[in-house]
Amino acid sequence: MSDTLDVENINTPGRTSRVNAAKYHAMKAAMLKVMTHDAPGDTAEDIKEAAKAHLPDHLFPGGATSGWWQKTVQLDLEAKGVIRRSHTKPLRFFLT
């Protein structure tokens, strides 16, 4: 497996960024474990906090940088149609 992978951003279609593959996959797996299929879903903060319990400590010691990775994975999964956002205040997200 490559050390990096391309991620998309729903806010900038057609643009990709390279990120650490291990951290991306760890956060994605954690988020998919804790997210609901039911709209309106959970806030980004709720998802981040719930996902921390499922992150490997060697990649995210004490949850370090989990907020940045949660946002990166969230934007990529939105761009790929895996999750959707509810237009609430604050925004909420759910699995499709």
In total, how many domains does the chain have?
1
Whole-number percent of the chain with pLDDT over 70 = 99
CATH number of the domain where residue 46 is located = 1.10.10
The residue range of the domain holding 75 is 4-95
Q: For residue 2, what pLDDT band results from cuts at 50, 70 and 90? A: confident
DSSP 10-49: TTSTT-EEEEEHHHHHHHHHHHHHH--SSTT-EEHHHHHH
pLDDT at 6: 97
H or E, element range at 78: helix 66-79
pLDDT tens digits, 13-57: 999 999 999 999 999 999 999 999 999 999 999 999 999 999 999
